[in-house]
Amino acid sequence: MSQPKYIHALDIPVPVRAELDAGTQKYFALCDEKLGMVPNVLASYSFNAAKLRAFSDMYSELMLGESGLTKLEREMIAVAVSSVNNCFYCLTAHGAAVRELSGDPILGELMVMNYRAAELSPKQRAMLDFAYKLTKSPNEIEESDRQALRDAGWRDHDIWDISAAASFFNMSNRMASAIDMMPNEAYHSQAR
């Protein structure tokens, strides 16, 4: 009943792998190797190499680059933000990542459903409270909100990274919702 209807709802066909440029083919082969799949978000963007590269470069820098935040913490932000925006694609893909990286399936569910129900360190809780407010009412963010992060133990470079991750998923959630992007089914059973 609920099988993904399509990769996304627009009439912009996902190119056949063999027809992609060499760079994209190589990147997708790496995805296959590391993730066991090419995430549908990347397949969606592959109709245009420049758009794909812009998206994947930003994504990689943000989620995989050096940071005072662990990869798990960045994924926790991804999911908590996506929960506010009810983004099916991102909750599915990044919920799996939280389960995977934490080895804690319940933590993934908590981020999807309501991060306030999770037993987190005050530092991580402050991180998610900031991401939540930035998502819901960005116009009301004030110095006191940044200070709360510092008081919880985050450095200013970390505040940049928390802000950047939360902001990125506010973009990504909307792009996925705008075109009704469907996640790869494999995510659902990962790391349960």
Q: Which of residues 85-144 bind a copy of itself (CB under 8 A)?
A: 85-88, 91-92, 102, 104-107, 109-110, 112-114, 116-120, 130, 134-135, 138-143
* 186 touches a copy of itself by CB under 8 A: no
CA atoms of 183 and 54, how far apart (whole Å): 20
* 32 touches a copy of itself by CB under 8 A: no
Least separation, in Å, of the C-beta of 34 and a copy of itself?
20
Among 12, 31, 32, 37, binds a copy of itself (CB under 8 A): 12
Least separation, in Å, of the C-beta of 128 and a copy of itself?
12
26 versus 174: smaller Cβ distance to a copy of itself:
174
DSSP secondary structure string, 111-161?
HHH-GGGS---HHHHHHHHHHHHHHH-GGG--HHHHHHHHHTT--HHHHHH
Least separation, in Å, of the C-beta of 27 and a copy of itself?
15
Total binding residues toward a copy of itself, as defined by CB under 8 A: 76
Mark 125-161 as b/e (b = at least 16 C-beta within 10 Å): ebbbbbbbbbbeeeeeeeeeebebbeebebeeebbeb
CA atoms of 71 and 76, how far apart (whole Å): 9
Of residues 31, 28, 30, the one with CA closest to residue 17? 28
Work out the burial of residue 73: count CB atoms within 10 Å of its CB; fewer than 13 is exposed, 13-18 middle, 19 or more buried.
Answer: buried
Least separation, in Å, of the C-beta of 65 and a copy of itself?
6
- Binding string, 53-92, against a copy of itself, x = CB under 8 A? xxx-xx--xx--x-----------------x-xxxx--xx
Among 27, 40, 77, 168, binds a copy of itself (CB under 8 A): 168
